[in-house]
A and B are shown apart, each in its own frame.
Chain A
């Protein structure tokens, strides 16, 4: 790819990133809803599966669009949730802690 194509590509990535951030607010809100459900309503395993899927999509896309920290933290949170899902009994406190830690970081991206 030549220099001019590369700069046009970067401009396209920037446009995509803006659109991603608009949509990302919904993903962030969904994670809050899922976090609030843990230990309160529904099946915790199913709730965490949904949270994991939400984080997985962010982990794959955010970094590629130049939001490296968001992608990295999503990947770390996804990994920790996958680990929690492996045990027979879900550690609810730990699950909430993982989501809160991620949401703290995610919040700074949503505010921008």
Chain B
């Protein structure tokens, strides 16, 4: 794996050169600022992974991360921020800009080498499964594999504000310290009768549909600075700042109205009548590391339980009508 390290501190760059030199099968190229990095990227289009400092003279590392993501060649490359900036604002902005992981300086070389090996393994797995990005008619990018898609399988959606990969979302939630999670919540938002839509649509149509729904969701949640990811089964999990203020019923109505106005159709021309619903929010107060990741699963389960409850209520309503 060819890695580009961008840092204005020559000691850090030299340390990384030594570290990568001791790891098998990796190569390191370096740049001392964002402009230099763009030049090195031009000369090395085969760069597969980035290590980026945030505070550098000129453009900072977060802006560089955005530049990297804008380039289709590097749209999925792991971008690890390697920085002394430890506050939530920088972490939020880095992940929103497309960072995959966030490592604080001072860092432990053994841990960093593990992260690099993990990134390399992810790239190789993607290659083995022929996982690639495809453009949807609405201009978003979605990941596709050679094998068939199962309903429960997550896939990546790119180019929608606040939508990140599941790996990035897990790294984000793990990264935030106990205090920084205060006030944040995770909510799951799911497409009702996702299984019916999955069975009726082509795989590609289903991926496009999820990308369109992620856009509606991102717009409606914009006020909460969300980071969200598609986790499979028609469900998104969203990390919201100050999420306790979310009025689930009002939000669901606004989201469904927004989706209705999008006037979505299958590629066969059939109009799609879609309804989403929101599960009970899971507060992230004092839930560091693995416990925070478990909150993502709980939010997912809550959304699906809410979808099932609504379908049951609907059935009960029709039964009642008939008996009356």
Contact = CB atoms under 8 A, between A and B. Distances in A.
A64 B106 contact: yes
B23 interface: yes
Interface string B108-134: 011001000000000000000000000
Contacts of B152: none
Nearest to B83: A60
Given A64-B107, A71-B106, 18 more contacts: A1-B110, A9-B18, A9-B22, A12-B18, A16-B11, A16-B14, A16-B18, A23-B11, A56-B84, A57-B9, A60-B53, A61-B9, A61-B11, A62-B106, A64-B15, A64-B105, A64-B109, A65-B106
23 contacts: A1-B22, A1-B23, A6-B110, A8-B22, A16-B11, A16-B14, A16-B15, A23-B11, A57-B9, A59-B105, A60-B12, A60-B53, A60-B83, A60-B105, A61-B9, A61-B12, A61-B105, A61-B106, A64-B12, A64-B15, A65-B106, A68-B106, A75-B84
A2 B105 CA distance: 23
A9 B19 contact: yes
Contacts of A9: 18-19, 22, 109
A56 B57 CA distance: 13
B32 interface: no
Interface residues of B, number: 19
Contacts, number: 57
Q: Interface residues of A: mostly helix, strand, loop or mixed? A: helix
Contacts of A56: 55, 84
Interface string A59-99: 11111110010010001000000000000000000000000
Contacts of B18: 9, 12-13, 16
Q: Interface extent on A, as a size class?
A: 20 to 34
Contacts of A108: none
Contacts of A64: 12, 15, 105-107, 109
Contacts of A23: 11
A2 to B, nearest CB: 9
Given A16-B14, A60-B9, A60-B12, A5 B22 contact: yes
B15 A60 contact: no
A75 B87 CA distance: 12
Nearest to A17: B11
Contact of B84 (A8, A12, A59): A59
B113 A19 contact: no
Interface string A30-61: 00000000000000000000000000110111
Interface string B1-42: 000000001011011001100110000000000000000000
A75 to B, nearest CB: 7
A20 B11 CA distance: 7
